[in-house]
Amino acid sequence: MQPALREIKKELVHLGREELATLCLRLARYKKDNKELLSFLLFNADDLPAYTTIVKESLAEEFTHLNR
């Protein structure tokens, strides 16, 4: 049985900066989705309009290559 999110939060509060960084990096290495979410939270979450523009441009470019 896995602990509830509340229990995980309680444990995270007791960890130091290095331990938290290590856990984050382990999660990022574990799965591509985790890495993408961590990247978004670190680098793009504070400017959603700019991030949305970047994603739209990227998708438009990918669709252009698809239609060839």
User: Computed over its alpha carbons, how large is the radius of gyration of the chain?
Assistant: 17
Q: How many domains does the chain have?
A: 1
> Taking a C-beta distance cutoff of 8 angstroms, is the pair 24, 35 a contact?
no
pLDDT at 21: 96
37, 44, 48, 54, 57 from 64: Cα distances, Å: 26, 25, 24, 15, 11
pLDDT at 1: 84
**Is the predicted pLDDT of residue 34 greater than 90, yes or no?**
yes
Instruction: Look at the pTM and tell me if it is higher than 0.85.
Output: no
Mean pLDDT, all residues of the chain: 94
4: left (phi over 0), alpha (psi -120 to 50) or beta: beta
> Taking a C-beta distance cutoff of 8 angstroms, is the pair 44, 51 a contact?
yes
